[in-house]
Amino acid sequence: MSKGDLWNKYRLSIDKNHFDRIWEEVDSINRLIRYGVSVYDVVNRVCENIVYLKVLENQYKSIGFDMEKVQSKNLELKMSGVNELKNSGRLQDYLKTLSKEERNELMSKDLGLNGIISTINLEEWKNKQSDLSRNYSVSN
């Protein structure tokens, strides 16, 4: 079989320039150190391996996509309680019933609540400052 026949076998899988570089490299090595098989056979095996690597790369990408889907589902599950409270319009009121420590714990859970909780904490701090100021004024 010829180089052209082998190219036809892999033309849909391997770029022509890449194929030519592989052939030339194997051929130049073969001129200096003889392979136990023909250049055709060595290039064929190299091309088979390249095609297999592409299959593995596609599988890897697919697995990565599947992993992202599973992680997304896990995040949806983790967020389900928060989303239920948001959708019913009760999230902020519910968060206000929690202690500062409980709210801080929620902030550490990456639930997208940091802004709301920070606002609640700031409101509570302002109210406490206002009460302290009022109590100080009343006592004097």
pTM reported for the whole predicted model: 0.60
Q: What's residue 129's pLDDT? A: 87
Instruction: Give the residue from 109, 106, 87 showing the smallest Cα distance to 98.
Output: 106
d(CA 3, CA 30): 15
What residues contact 98, with CB distance under 8 A and at least 6 apart? Answer: 106
For residue range 99-109, what is the model confidence (pLDDT) as tens digits? Answer: 989 999 999 99
Residue pair 22/43 in contact (Cβ under 8 Å)? The answer is yes
Q: Mean pLDDT lowest for which of 12-16, 58-62, 66-70, 136-140?
A: 136-140
pLDDT band of residue 130 (cuts 50, 70, 90) is confident
For residue range 109-128, what is the model confidence (pLDDT) as tens digits? Answer: 989 899 999 999 999 888 88
Tell me what percent of the residues of the chain surpass a pLDDT of 90: 81
Overall average pLDDT of the 60-64 stretch: 96
Other Cβ atoms closer than 10 A to 47: 20
Q: What's residue 128's pLDDT? A: 84
Q: What phi-psi label fits residue 89: left (phi over 0), alpha (psi between -120 and 50 degrees) or beta?
A: left
pLDDT band of residue 39 (cuts 50, 70, 90) is very high
